[in-house]
Amino acid sequence: MEGLNLGREAGAARAPETDVPRCPKCGWQDVRRSISKRPLDFAFTAFSLAPFRCRTCGHRFFRFFRRLDNS
């Protein structure tokens, strides 16, 4: 819908839609990286899987992430 803000500041930079993961539970794209807490979280990072949390419904899930090259 045109003109609908949904809590974002006007003019705020957004990532391209394809780079923003969707919550598998509710479908919203309002997700952020979650803090790695459990040993399994740290093990998954070896396979480029990171924990994410939906800010709408609170569902926690894992998605592949791109590692940044330090070269």
Separation between Cα atoms, residue 2 and residue 46, nearest integer Å? 41
Per-residue pLDDT of 24-68, as tens digits, reads: 999 999 999 999 889 999 999 889 999 999 999 999 999 998 766
* pLDDT beyond 60 at 15: no
What are the sequence ranges of the domains in the chain?
22-64
Q: What letter represents residue 9's amino acid?
A: E
CB contact at 8 A, 61 and 44: no
pLDDT value of position 45? 87
